[in-house]
Amino acid sequence: MSADELEYDVIVVGAGNAAACAAISARNNGARVLMLEAAPETERGGNSTYTAGAMRYAFNGVEDVLSLVPDVDADTLALTDFGSYTVDQFFDDMFRVTQYRTDPVLCELLVRNSLPALQWMRKQGVRFQTSHGRQAYKVNGRFQFWGGLSVEVWGGGPGLVDMLLSSAEKKGIRILYETAAISLIKDNDGVRGVRISQRGQERDLHCKAVVLACGGFESSAEMRARYLGPNWDLAKVRGTRFNNGQGIRMALDIGARPHGHWSGAHAVGWDLNAPAFGDLAVGDAFQKHSYPFGILVNARGERFVDEGADFRNYTYAKYGSAVLEQPNQFAWQVFDAKVSHLLRDEYRIRQVTKVTADSLEALVAQMDGVDATGFLATVDRFNRAVRQDVQFNPNVKDGRSAETSPVRKSNWAQTIDTAPFEAYAVTCGVTFTFGGLKINGSGAVEDMTGRPIPGLFAAGELVGGLFYHNYPGGTGLTSGAVFGKIAGEGAAEFVASRATLPAA
């Protein structure tokens, strides 16, 4: 046996947010921990690195926000209404957006542990800041937060991964890069280790417990087509190229139980000309999330979703698949000068597929692939349907609707009539997949009979059952933190119990 094989109690597969939280939590509970990362060090951290670091948690008011960001300056505080986002509101959002399918046990753990998990992360060295830039509009001189998100990690996803992994390393946790787990080693007493491929060389690493935290199958075109359906192989991947479903597959191979929405995925409107996988230099800025203030048209020039159905946090994750269903899998977002100041920073990056014009006719002439007659008729019908008796307010669901067929616009409808006009081309960008493994309340992976597989734990994207159809923004990182911490504790406790058993 090599030194590697003898040294560690717990092997954590992955080095994103869920894996780092699991590793730190297992270490804090006394286990000797090794992390395996398929990516080279320069691409470490999986999808977690690509995020803006927005994290959803239940809070009762400004005191809870300050428990995460104690250094908000007095002037900013005086001008800000953080409001609250209660445990009940978080439950309501999870049930509503998942069409009442979220696993009640997992959802309860997620919601109730959300604030404590972020407070725990802070103790592990993660710094937070308020999300004034993305989650609050200034109306009448005051910032008002909306949509249940109030904080993000300092430095976004790269900051999160750096802070967590440097904290892990300070605690003596070793990370092996360019080392992919390819299968699990199991005997009659459960999981005993991992077979790895390290720069093409395969070998076995033994341990007492394994935590799988190595993402979903979003980066595998083959698995997307197989489970999500036709044309999903054509979607662009917003994040890492390393989440190929290997963790899910190796668990299923030893009898783990699949759980959740296997034909569902989080997918957004993403720049039509973005690369096939995420680009860390651009991060999440290929997304185009200001569509609630404009309209979205397909190749026929027709609208196909209610752009103002809800706050963007509650619709963006399902509108990518709506774009995928359109002819040639693209759409254009169209805005006029009345709302251009509301467009998020991502609309002003250099790598953007954008056209502008002083007339709608000149605009559509540049909107590649769009039927001009259909588009002009759509805008005309839309403009005539916009309610003029309700004031536009981006901070609330203002009820300023347009009663159009076949889809209405429920909020924030404004006529598109003021030059200059702008249009942005998007396609479907897949973020992560919803189907995965069934875990119990201790983070242990269950077998087909519902019993925990001894020594196997899981956290993060590859846990199934939380999200169906849709997703409330900022919940992925919180899920990774909550279930990573639980899985780390569960694995450490299992190691301690295994140590007290007679040797096999």
Q: Which residues bind ligand FAD (CB under 6 A)?
A: 13-19, 36-39, 44-48, 50-55, 180-181, 213-215, 238-240, 242-243, 246-247, 278, 284, 431-432, 460-461, 474-477, 480
Shortest distance, position 248 Cβ to ligand FAD, whole Å = 10
C-alpha 122/C-alpha 116 separation (Å) is 10
The smaller minimum CB distance to ligand FAD, of residues 47 and 401, is found at: 47
> Nearest distance from residue 308's CB to ligand FAD, in Å?
22
CA distance 126 to 13: 21
Q: Shortest gap between Cβ of 191 and ligand FAD (angstroms)?
A: 15
**Shortest approach of ligand FAD to residue 359 CB, angstroms?**
35
**Is 183 or 414 the residue whose CB approaches ligand FAD more closely?**
183
Smallest gap from Cβ 157 to ligand FAD, in A, equals 7
Which of 50/421 has CB closer to ligand FAD? 50
Q: Give the HSE-up count for residue 103: Cα atoms under 13 Å, Cβ half-sphere.
A: 21
One-character DSSP codes across 288-312: ---GGGSEEE-TTS-B-S-TTSS-G
CA 39-446-1 angle, 5° bins: 50
**Considering the complex, what minimum distance in angstroms separates the CB of residue 253 from ligand FAD?**
13
> Apex CA 144: angle with CA 107 and CA 347, to 5°?
85
* Complex with ligand FAD: residue 18 or 94, whichever CB lies closer: 18
CA nearest neighbour of 228 among 402, 432, 466, 24? 432
Identity of the residue, 47 or 290, whose beta carbon is nearer to ligand FAD in the bound complex: 47
d(CA 455, CA 209) in angstroms, rounded, equals 4
Q: Whole-number minimum distance, CB 27 to ligand FAD, in Å?
A: 17
Q: What are the CA-CA distances from residue 348 to residues 288, 289, 293, 342 (Å)?
A: 10, 12, 16, 12
We find the least distance from the C-beta atom of residue 49 to ligand FAD, in angstroms, to be: 7
Quote the distance between the C-alpha of residue 443 and its chain's center: 20
- What dihedral do alpha carbons 10, 13, 16, 18 form, nearest 10°? -60
Closest to ligand FAD by CB, 445 or 477: 477
User: How is the beta sheet containing 201-206 ordered, strand by strand?
Assistant: 179-187, 190-198, 201-206
- Least distance CB 471 / ligand FAD (angstroms): 9
Measured from the CB atom, the residue of 15 and 379 that comes closer to ligand FAD is 15
In angstroms, the CA 367 to CA 265 distance is 28
CA distances from 167 to 20, 26, 122, 174, 453 (A): 9, 13, 11, 11, 29
- For ligand FAD, the closer of residues 246 and 414 by Cβ is 246
Do 214 and 19 form a contact (C-beta atoms < 8 A)? Answer: yes
143, 80 in Cβ contact below 8 A?
Answer: yes
Q: Which is nearer to ligand FAD, 338 or 469 (CB)?
A: 469
Distances (CA, A) of 405 to 316, 330, 375, 378: 21, 21, 14, 10
Give CA angle at 440 (437, 445), nearest 5°.
40
State in angstroms the smallest separation of the CB of 149 from ligand FAD.
9
Please identify which residue in the block is written with the tokens 């090794």. 34
State the Cα–Cα distance between residues 496 and 490, nearest whole angstrom.
10
Q: Which is nearer to ligand FAD, 480 or 488 (CB)?
A: 480
Cα 343 from Cα 321, distance rounded (Å)? 22
Q: Which is nearer to ligand FAD, 43 or 310 (CB)?
A: 43
DSSP 220-243: -HHHIIIII-TTGGGSEESS-S--
Q: Which is nearer to ligand FAD, 23 or 364 (CB)?
A: 23
Q: C-alpha 384: how far from its chain's center?
A: 37
CB of 458 to ligand FAD, least distance (A): 9
